[in-house]
Each structure stands twice: as structure tokens, then as C-alpha cells.
Structure 1
Amino acid sequence: MSILIALIIVCGIVASWLWYRAWHDDNANSGRKEKALALILQQARATADETTRALETSGTTDVDVLTEVVWRRTEAPLITYDTSRREFTAAVAKSTLYDEEAILPGAGPVKVTRCFVFSYIHRTGQAWTSQLSERHDDVCRPSTDIGGKVSLALTQISNMYAEDLSRAGIQKGLDPTGRRVYDVKSVVTKGQAVTAFVLVSSFEGAADQCYRFTRPLGDDGKGSAAVPASSC
């Protein structure tokens, strides 16, 4: 009987400890998650301010140049421009990691993501202004999808033979099955580089973005780059 009582006491202590650890870990992880999300928001606000200053000091009204200014700061794969409103809109998902605590093995870094839409407006005779809004993850999915497709396209173009860097050659290389995910609009060779304007579409055609791919004519394709453009 004494052994049974001892076992009951031990089991009770273990259960209490497990409950406490679960409660402690849950609270600790919730706090870490909130801090990680707050950090993403803080960084997004800083990005919005930095981009506004860069647009203000750019000294140009060229939409392509301004699109690149927005892209280099926000890293948004999808950037649109409303001519009537003189407004750029950039959608991008921002992520960070935090370490999660757990009793069982397998705990470690956890990724959290927030979807942001940056808006930059330039009224006649006024300075650039910005607006940052957090949106549902669905809003950023087309942008994220386009970003992934652009990375794949850049790798493909970088690895192509120089003699295949024609409009037909690049179209075949990027879209061999004819799904029209990539639509090569034009290809120009100037000096020692090839420039291709490609319309990249997201899943189910929810959105598309023109990209300017630049590929040096060297066989290794080193130095190739992809930058969003206002139009193709």
C-alpha cells in the first residue's frame, strides 16, 4: 500500500510539473511570437519611411526608375502604379524567426509572417507621402508567388547558353509546356548584355508583374539580375 501511495504522489508531482511546463512554455512562446510580430511591424514602418525619403530625393518622375526605388527598399515582388492617382502600391510578406520552447524534442526556430501593403503617393506640388497597412495573408500570396517564379526564371536565364538568348529561346526555356506563366515580351542585345522584358503571372492569373531581366553574354551568366518594371 505504501508503494502505491508513493507512486500516486510521484505521478501527481510529475503531472503538476508537466502542467506547469506546458503553461510556462505556452506563455513564453506567445510572448516571443508577439515580440517577433512587433519587430516585423517596426521594420516595415522603417522601410516605409526610408522609401518615402528615397522617392523624395530621387529627383525623377520616370515611373520605371521610381518602381525600382520602391523595389530596392521594400523588396516587394509585386508593385503597381496608378497613373491617375500617382500612387505606387507594393504588396509583400515579411517574415522572421523566433525560438520556441517545448518539453518534447523538435522545438526550435518558428517562422512568423505578416502581409503588408505599402502605398506611396505624389501629389502635384507636394512631397511624397506613404501609408502602411497590414492585410490578410491572401493579399500577399500573388506577390509571394510571383517572387518565387522570378527567382526560378532568373536561375534559368542565367544558365542558358548565349546563343539561346532570343525571344523564342527564352520563352521556351521559361515556359516549355506553354502554360503562359511567363510571357516574354521583348529581348534586346546591346553591347555585352541581353535585356528581356517578361510578364510574370501568379497562380490562376490573380496578378502579374513585368520584370526586366539582364543577362551578361558570358557563358556562366554571372551578374544576371531581375528588376520589376512598370510595364512591358
Structure 2
Amino acid sequence: MTSVPGGPVVAGRVRRRATTGCLLLLMIPAALLAYAGYATRHADRVNDRREEAAVASVRAQARRTSDATARALSAGHATAPDALVGVIWRHTHAPVIAYDPEHGTYTATAAFSSDHDEKGFPLAAGPVRTERCFTLTFTWKAPATEWTATHAERDDSACRSGRVVGFDVTLARKRLAAMTGRVTPAEAARVLDPAHRQRPYTVRKAERSGGADVITVLVRESVDGAPVQQCYAFTRGRATDAAAVTAVPVATC
């Protein structure tokens, strides 16, 4: 049968082709949506695995640091609290190390972290840092011959005050490096709080030792209602840059 232009047969073919074209057009966004959903779920699964691996790495760091510090304490045979705090600080870099003379324990509160790349869709999400807060507790009691160590994961609030203390210590190093003239407790206090804004520094003493100035300062902070304090010994040579001023936590002021 001959198809007549504009006839019913031709019109039917046009309608069928139009319907097929519309279906194809509808299938394209549906396929894209399905792929996007799959890619997003895949990225989420990959990110979950990477996050789990990062958390495991952070916990392993805390465990290794705790064990290594205990070994260093046992090998060093130090007995003075300030020397013991110094050993703990060199291994943990904890801004706050609490000394409990009644129980013979030293507790360092520090954060450990691990970086990993997060997968995203359609673009990469970029690097992500996983951080956890820990307390590392070290104990020695006679007749023990070695230090014992325990570590516990804490809520991040336990580390917040310590982070602020760390910032205060960095600022104090910069200000003490700029001191001129003879170092006295009053002059150190003035330098640490030049605007008299009640900065959290209490200068306990300033003395000359081995050709360097040693300024002992109690640093107090309170974050989210959690007060914390830590004594620091700042040692200042003749140079006038912050790198020349060291700051080490000590047990008591």
C-alpha cells in the first residue's frame, strides 16, 4: 500500500518515532540519576572504610606512644617529678601533664590525628583529618621495676583546654623572646600581659641558670567550664626569636 503524505499511516509512523524519541530522552536522565546514586553510595562506602582505617591508625598511634613513653621512663631511672614530666612531654608532646603525688601517677592529655583523602562525587572531596583525644596514664609503685602505662580514648572536650594552653605557651615564647634587660618576675609578668588584660599567666619565678634565663609560669585556662592549669619552664637564651625560647611542662611551680 502506498503511503500518502499526511495520511494516517505516515502520521502513525511519526507518532511512534516521536514516542520512541521521548522515551529515549527520558531514559537518559534516569540513567544519569541511577549512576549518580550508585557513585554516591560507592563514595560513601569508600569514605567509611577510609575513616575506619584512619581511626584505627590514630588508636594505634596512641598505643605506641603510651608504650614507648613507659619504656623511656623505665630506662631513664629518673625520680624527680619535673624530670619525669619532661620525659613524658618529649614522647607525647601533650600540652597538659597532670601529676598526682598521692597515687604516683602522671597523666598526659593529648590529641592524635591521621590524614586521608575523602572520595567525592562528582568531584574529589579532598583531604580530611581524623583526630581523637586520649589520656595516657603512667604509674610506678615500689617494688615495681618498670613503669606501667594505660591509655583511654576521651571525648574531644578533654583536649580543648589543652589546645588553648598550647596556644598560650606559643604566645608566651614569642613575648619572652622579645624581652630586653634584666629578667625579673615582675618584668616577665609585664611582658606576658602588656595590656593588663588578665592573661592566664602567673609568673612564679625567674632566675639565671647556666647562662640562660629560666622563667617558671603557671598557665591557667578554662574552656567549656573545664578548668585546667599547667606549670611551664621557659628557658631563654640571648637570641631574640621565639625559636630560641624553649618551653617544657614541669610538675609543680
The answer for the alignment partner of 2:190 in structure 1 is 172
Picking from 228, 231, 238, the partner of 1:207 is 228
TM-score, structure 2 normalization: 0.86
Q: Give % identity.
A: 33
1:90 is paired with a residue of what secondary structure? strand
Dislocated runs of 4+, deviation >6 Å: none
Q: Residues 52, 138 of structure 1: CA spacing in aligned structure 2 closer, same or farther, 3 A cutoff?
A: same
Gapped regions of structure 2 (runs ≥ 5): 1-18
Q: Residues 220, 90 of structure 1: CA spacing in aligned structure 2 closer, same or farther, 3 A cutoff?
A: closer
Deviates more, 1:173-182 or 1:90-99: 173-182
TM-score, structure 1 normalization: 0.93
For 2:235 and 2:66, the matched residues in 1 are separated by 27
For 2:231 and 2:70, the matched residues in 1 are separated by 23
For 1:56 and 1:191, the matched residues in 2 are separated by 28
Q: How many residues align?
A: 231
Q: 1:203, CA displacement in angstroms? A: 2.7
The answer for the alignment partner of 1:61 in structure 2 is 79
The answer to whether the 8 A contact 2:205-2:216 is kept is yes
Equivalent residue letter for 2:173: L
Equivalent residue letter for 1:124: A
Please list the CA deviations of residues 149-168 of structure 1 after superposition, one character each: whole Å capped at 9, or x if unmatched.
1122112222x132274322
The answer to whether the 8 A contact 2:214-2:236 is kept is yes
1:112 is paired with a residue of what secondary structure? strand
1:148 aligns with 2:148: no
For 1:69 and 1:220, the matched residues in 2 are separated by 25
The answer to whether the 8 A contact 2:206-2:216 is kept is yes
Deviates more, 1:195-204 or 1:206-215: 195-204
Picking from 204, 216, 230, the partner of 2:237 is 216
1:133 aligns with 2:172: no
The answer for the alignment partner of 2:53 in structure 1 is 35
1:94 aligns with 2:112: yes
Q: Residues 209, 25 of structure 1: CA spacing in aligned structure 2 closer, same or farther, 3 A cutoff?
A: same
Q: 1:221, CA displacement in angstroms? A: 5.4
Deviates more, 1:192-201 or 1:207-216: 192-201
The answer to whether the 8 A contact 1:215-1:221 is kept is no
1:79 is paired with a residue of what secondary structure? strand
Q: 1:222, CA displacement in angstroms? A: 4.6
Q: 1:172, CA displacement in angstroms? A: 2.2
1:117 aligns with 2:131: no
Gapped regions of structure 1 (runs ≥ 5): none
1:229 aligns with 2:250: yes
For 1:146 and 1:219, the matched residues in 2 are separated by 23
Q: Residues 157, 61 of structure 1: CA spacing in aligned structure 2 closer, same or farther, 3 A cutoff?
A: same
Root-mean-square deviation over aligned CA pairs? 1.7
The answer to whether the 8 A contact 1:162-1:217 is kept is no
